[in-house]
Amino acid sequence: MSKNIKVNVEYLTRVEGHGNIVVNVKNGKLEECRLDIVESPRFFEGMLRGRSIFEAQHITSRICGICACGHTLASVQAGEDALGVLPSEQTIKLRKFLLHMENMDSHLLHIYLLVAPDLLGVKSFVPLIETHNTVVRRALRMKKVCNDVCDILVGRHVHPISCIVGGFTKLPREKDLDRMLNFLTGLRPDMEATLELAKTLKFPQFNRETEYVGLVNDNGEYPMLSGDLGSTDGLKMSKKDYRKLTNEFVVSHSSAKHTKASRDSYAVGALARFNLNHGKLHPKAKEVAKVLGMKPTVTNPYLNTVAQLIECVHSLEDSIEILQEFKGKGLDYSQEIVVGLNERGTIPVKAGIGIGAVEVPRGILFHEYEIDKQGKIVNANCVIPTGQNCNNIEQDMKALVPQILEKSQEEITLLMEMLVRAYDPCISCSAHFLNVKFVGR
Amino acid sequence: MRKPKVAFFDFACCEGCQLQVANFGEALLDILGLIDVVMFREAMSEKSDEYDIAIVEGSITTPHDVERIKKIRATAKVLIAYGSCATIGGINGMKNNFDLEDIRKYVYKNDAKYFETIPTHPLHQIVKVDYFVHGCPVYQPEFVKVLKAALAGLPYNVPDYSVCVECRFNENVCMYDKGITCLGPVTRAGCNSWCINNGNICYGCRGMLSNPAKDGQMDILKKHNIPLEWVTNKMNMYNKPRELDIDEQKHKG
């Protein structure tokens, strides 16, 4: 075959942040295949130096508007780890609930507004307002439920207010629990309709074996907020050793720092979690997986979107159970904390290093802070899910292109865009902490 | 009547303020009935170089950004600075607390040379801005007000009284009475004291009042025995780039 193909997607759309896809095939041979990150650096690690550990969550939440709650939770966990603070059972449960809302919100946004237009053959959800009005309305309604619940729980979804080191500055009252329960039980019919829609969607067929990485544990819980690090290749280690897992490295042809564990690349995110921990999903989510034909190990990256839907069901049902439990036994309001902990000396401050490892919508997120004896940040490091997926996306692209060479340039471009989008990349996150080169500028 | 063409743009930011648009729920469809969104990269693949209103999120942090925002300004009839990063520099402005060379090397080590960076600027320091929607993130009810004003061609005046005014209406206990530093007294209202309602302090994300009653503020600090440094340190989280405003005024004067 002597085909020449040049794909150059500048500013990939319907993803968070700025990325370019470059594919170059000469005489039927793949010469170049890259995902470039062209986001403006924001220097978060640098800016954190000298700030109080109690401000870290407020600042790092601003890395990303979509995963603000995820960054908040990873940051708070790292801060508490550094200070030697153990959160109460109630606090942990509320944080798990918050993480469910974050995952559901982000997954729904991705499934409906970012992925569905490709599967329905349009450029965005806007034309769907005419052709699929009930679907668009349902999507916006479901997303709003997650937002409304976050408003009640932490003040707002984009940059949560009340979730800080030590616990919550405001706890939901009895009537708040009722309102949140109403919102979530009311979401069930829409979730079922989403499932019906998912059954009709056709995803591209492409399989490539890779290593799937995420949190693992020895109990029956689907691990999101805490656990050890594990992989489908059998890796298992404490979160303290996260650098041994990520092994970040720079490659000359790529714009972002890459990671690898046991083989060339690894994947994180909903599909990785599903492949690792499917047996621990809520029974209703397991049922959905069965109906949608998802049986681990799933090696088609396009099906990350389906794994996200399965997780939505899990998050919804587990959240309802958490709320019902709180309704039954009530909350301990004496645990409501007063902000300004460092000023008031409520939590003793000591020098130390702390690590947070949390499963956020796009995969496992690490925050690490080193603080001095006054609680001031000396060093900060974050490893972002999208950064970890970059290498795996490129490996997928390299495997996929030779399989689809006979297709038109347009079709190839769309399949590549859909592949990158399937990972739901959050490029502004990845660029804030990774090593980025501006290629071709 | 032709619907006005609206385009969303982003510079250095978290895109959370654009996300606030998607968070309107079904009410978004009512808004979309009044305007024709021609570009919104985060949510749409459609692209256009023709637009009447540009809604711009993010700060100007690279030489490339300066050129890009000038082009947007030249095309748009109306430019709305959207969110703290665009209106006051916001969190990105914390970079200005450091020597630029030093912070570049700290984050990117040997590859620092690839990262051209300039001090963080809010949009109005580079181009003329017609409307400001402050906040990190923006407060949706205020965004609707500004959009209405922009569509009607009317001015929108950002409240120039302190967050404390709204905070009192919301019957919150004053943070200073709890012995905690809060930036409410020197920060523009308009967010309905969002953070204090939820048990946190005001971090000054909407920017400083034009007349912050300096002597009165000093009395508050004195009364509660709070060092001025605590306040300025907090202020430098969102408001550091305002120093560049002041510098410019000096040059003009």
Render pLDDT for A225-284 as a digit per residue (tens, 0 to 9): 999 999 999 999 999 999 999 987 765 555 556 789 999 899 999 999 999 999 999 999
The pLDDT score that the predictor gives to residue B248 is 62
The one-letter amino acid code at B25 reads G
Cα–Cα distance between B92 and B86 in angstroms, integer?
Answer: 10
| pLDDT one-digit tens code per residue, A318-339 | 999 999 999 999 999 999 998 8
What is the Cα gyration radius of chain A? 21
The tokens 């039954």 sit on which residue? Answer: A328
State which amino acid sits at residue A70: G
**Cα angle: A99, vertex B12, A76; to 5 degrees:** 30
CB < 8 Å from A in window 22-61 of B? 22-26, 28-29, 32, 37, 40-47, 61
Report angle CA B41, B45, B47 to the nearest 5 degrees. 80
A143 Cβ contact partners less than 8 Å away, ≥ 6 residues apart: A105, A108, A109, A112, B22, B23, B25
Q: Average pLDDT of chain B?
A: 90
State the number of CA atoms in the 13 A half-sphere of B144 facing the CB.
12
**Mean pLDDT on A57-61:** 96
Shortest distance, CA B49 to any CA of chain A (angstroms): 15
The CA-based diameter of chain A, rounded to the nearest angstrom, is: 73
Residues in chain A: 441
pLDDT category at A344 given cuts 50, 70, 90 is: low
Q: What is the pLDDT of residue B39?
A: 82
Least confident of A84-98, A370-384, A417-431, B89-103: A417-431
- Residue B232 distance to chain A (closest CA, Å): 13
Distance CA A292, CA B243 (A): 57
Give the pLDDT of residue A433.
40
Q: Do A140 and B29 touch (CB under 8 A)?
A: yes
- The number of CA neighbours under 13 Å toward the Cβ of A132 is 19
Record: contact A40-B61, CB cut-off 8 A: yes
Laid out side by side, the sheet with A377-383 consists of A352-360, A363-371, A377-383
For an interface test with B, which of A43, A57, A98 has the most B Cβ atoms less than 10 Å from its Cβ? A43
Chain A CB within 8 Å of residue B195 CB: yes
Inspect the interface and report whether the beta carbons of A123 and B197 lie closer than 8 Å. Answer: no
Query: CA angle, A195 as apex, A192 and A198 as ends, to 5°?
Result: 155
User: φ and ψ at B120, to 5 degrees?
Assistant: -65, 130
User: Domains (ranges, CATH) in chain B?
Assistant: 5-152 (3.40.50.700), 163-252 (no CATH)
Tokens encoding A158: 């984009």
Pairing state between β B53-57 and B5-10 = parallel
ipTM above 0.90, yes or no: yes
Contact B250, B98 (CB under 8 A): no
Mean per-residue pLDDT, A368-382: 93
Question: What residues contact B146, with CB distance under 8 A and at least 6 apart?
Answer: B80, B131, B132, B133, B156
pLDDT at A12 over 90: no
Please give the Cα distance from A33 to A35 (Å, whole number): 7
**Lowest-confidence pick of A6-10, A133-137, A410-414, B21-25:** A6-10
Angle at A160 (CA atoms; ends A157, A164), nearest 5 degrees = 150
- Chain A residues touching B136 at Cβ < 8 A: 62, 159
Mutate: best of B6, B11, B13, B14, partner A, most A CBs <10 A: B14
Contacts of A16 (CB under 8 A, 6+ apart): A64, A65, A66, A425, A426, A427, A428, A429, B15, B42
Position with higher pLDDT, A127 vs B114: A127
φ, ψ dihedrals at A139, nearest 5°: -60, -50
Do the Cβ atoms of A118 and A416 come closer than 8 Å? no
Within 13 Å, how many C-alpha atoms sit on residue A206's CB side? 22
Q: Round to whole Å and give the CA distance between B39 and B52.
A: 11
* Cα–Cα distance for residue pair A240/A166, rounded to 1 Å: 21
Nearest to residue B13, comparing CAs of A126, A191, A68?
A68
Q: Does residue A99 surpass a pLDDT of 70?
A: yes
B100 chain-A contacts, CB cut-off 8 A: none
**CB contact (8 A) between residue B198 and residue A155:** yes
pLDDT score, position A439 = 32
Task: State the pLDDT at residue A426.
Answer: 75
Is the pLDDT assigned to residue A377 strictly greater than 70?
A: yes
Least confident of A334-343, B79-88, B190-199, B207-216: A334-343
Q: Which residue among A41, A64, A129 sits closest to B32, beta carbon to beta carbon?
A: A129
The average pLDDT across A413-438 equals 67
pLDDT value of residue A435: 31
Residue A381 has pLDDT above 80, yes or no: yes
Contact (Cβ atoms closer than 8 angstroms) between residue B131 and residue B149: yes
Contact status of B114 with chain A (Cβ, < 8 Å): yes
Distances (CA, A) of A239 to A95, A164, A222, A243: 19, 21, 17, 9
Q: From the CA of B19, how many Å to the nearest CA of chain A?
A: 7
Establish how many alpha carbons lie within 13 A of residue A107's alpha carbon, considering only the half-sphere containing its beta carbon: 28
The most distant pair of C-alpha atoms in chain B lies apart, rounded to whole Å, by 60
A95 near A103, Cβ under 8 Å? no
Mean pLDDT over each residue of chain A, to the nearest integer: 89
**What does the alpha-carbon distance between residue B84 and residue B204 come to, in Å, rounded to a whole number?**
10
In 3D space, the residue among B9, B18, B13 whose CA is nearest the CA of residue B38 turns out to be B9
pLDDT digits (tens, 9 = 90+) for A293-305: 999 999 999 999 9
| A15-to-A185, A386, A435, B248 alpha-carbon distances in Å | 30, 11, 20, 37
Confidence of residue B247 (pLDDT cuts 50, 70, 90): low
Does pTM top 0.90 for this prediction?
A: yes
> If you write DSSP's letter for every residue of A10-57 in order, what string do you get?
SS-SSSBS-EEEEEEEETTEEEEEEEEE-PPP--HHHHHTTSBGGGHH
| Cα–Cα distance for residue pair A411/A441, rounded to 1 Å | 27
> Which residues in chain A have Cβ-Cβ distances shorter than 8 Å to B15?
16-17, 64-66, 428
Between B136, B179, B230, which is nearest A159 by CB?
B136
Least reliable range by pLDDT among A24-28, B35-39, B70-74, B133-137:
A24-28
Within 8 A of B231 by CB-CB distance, chain A residues are none
Q: Which residue has the higher pLDDT, B11 or A2?
A: B11
pLDDT at B49 exceeding the cut of 90? no
The answer to whether the Cβ–Cβ distance between B111 and A437 falls below 8 Å is: yes
What the block records as the tokens of A374 is: 């006054």
By C-alpha distance, the chain A residue nearest B201 is: A339
Residue A401 is classified by DSSP as G
Contact list, B26 vs chain A (CB under 8 Å): 137, 140-141, 144
Closest chain B residue to the Cα of A124, Cα to Cα: B44
Helix residue spans in A332-380 (DSSP H): 341-344
- Residue count (chain B): 253
Q: Please give the C-alpha separations between residue A223 and each of A67, A80, A229, A329, B220, in angstroms, as whole numbers.
A: 18, 19, 10, 24, 47
pLDDT of A437 over the 50 cut: no
In this structure, what are the phi and psi dihedrals at residue A212, rounded to the nearest 5 degrees? -105, 130
pLDDT category of residue B152 using cuts at 50, 70 and 90? very high
Which two tokens mark B63?
A: 């030489």
User: How far apart are the CA of A59 and the nearest CA of chain B, in angstroms?
Assistant: 7
- Residues 6 or more apart whose CB falls under 8 angstroms from that of A214 comprise A223, A229, A230, A231, A268, A272, A273, A276, A277, A359, A363, A364
The amino acid that residue A147 corresponds to is: N
Poorest-pLDDT segment among A45-54, A121-130, A249-258, A356-365: A249-258
CA distances, A152 to each of A398, A415, B222 (Å): 45, 40, 36
What letter represents residue A425's amino acid?
Answer: P
Which residues on B lie below 8 Å from A126 (Cβ)? 32, 37, 44, 46
| Structure confidence at residue A207 (pLDDT) | 97
Delineate the domains of chain A, giving CATH numbers in brackets.
5-433 (1.10.645.10)
Q: Which of A157-161, A391-395, A423-427 has the lowest mean pLDDT?
A: A423-427
Helix or strand or coil: residue A248? coil
- CA A58 – CA B84 distance, rounded (Å): 14
